[in-house]
Amino acid sequence: MKSQRCQPMASPSHADYLKLLGLISVRMSNIETHMRNFISEMISDDYELNVRIMAGNSFTDLLRLLKSVFPYRVSEKKVLQQFDALAIDLSNLNDERAKYIHSDWTLGDVDGIAVAKRMKVSRHKRGLRVDLKQNEFELLQDFLDKVEVVIEKLTQLKVVSMPIYIAHRAETAKKPYMAWDKDGFPIRTPINKTIPKRPSVVGHS
């Protein structure tokens, strides 16, 4: 999905700004859903378990999980390089999203022309940093285009890596389950044996 661009001499209305901001919010939420489903498929087929693992996770949390799980499931160098590049894109996208979505917007008119002002106040090592901009319609459109490109890359990576991580899931499912000894240290136990309850030991949660 590509954003509809205004003609160079056109003056975007307040509704145009609000539409773009709404599209950005929705599509960034779509990316979170893509990441959540991606991670879920790499973990297990237990939907309820996966929901509990990722419940309430932010974009940053989901990206952290993705960066942890994907290299475990996928070892092919070329696919990992593709993932590393995508992870950078996702991180940059989230930073730029905050600049637009977490700003204070003021919509007004000057001589009959719609004006949109954006103010973003953020912490800085020397205090507060104030970013004040005006009429960034083209930048908003450019950002929405970036979002669409990243969604496409995420979808393509999932298609390429799915046979790999599904095979790895099947392989690791054959390994013995993890259990703990009386001192709280991890041990392995055959699948057909009962897994003892993990003891409560100081220094181990």
The domains of the chain are located at: 14-105+135-174, 177-205
| 3-class secondary structure per residue, 124-183 | ECCEEEEEEEECCHHHHHHHHHHHHHHHHHHHHHHHHHHHHHHHHHHHHCCCCEEEECCC
Residue 134: the pLDDT is: 65
- The lowest-confidence range among 29-33, 38-42, 48-52, 164-168 is 48-52
| CA-closest candidate to residue 93, choices 170, 11, 25 | 25
Query: Per mean pLDDT, which of 109-113, 124-128, 139-143, 180-184 is the most reliable?
Result: 139-143
Which pTM value belongs to this model?
0.74
pLDDT per residue as tens digits for the range 178-190: 677 778 777 755 4
Check pLDDT > 80 for residue 3: no
Confidence of residue 105 (pLDDT cuts 50, 70, 90): confident
Query: pLDDT higher for 1 or 36?
Result: 36
Query: pLDDT higher for 163 or 182?
Result: 163
| CA-closest candidate to residue 97, choices 56, 143, 55 | 143
Cα 182 → chain centroid = 39
Average pLDDT of the residues of the chain:
82
Residue 6: the pLDDT is: 47
- The lowest-confidence range among 33-42, 96-105, 155-164, 196-205 is 196-205
Which residues 6+ apart lie within 8 Å of 26 measured at CB?
none
What is the three-class DSSP state of 180? strand
Q: State phi, psi for 131 to the nearest 5 degrees.
A: -110, 115
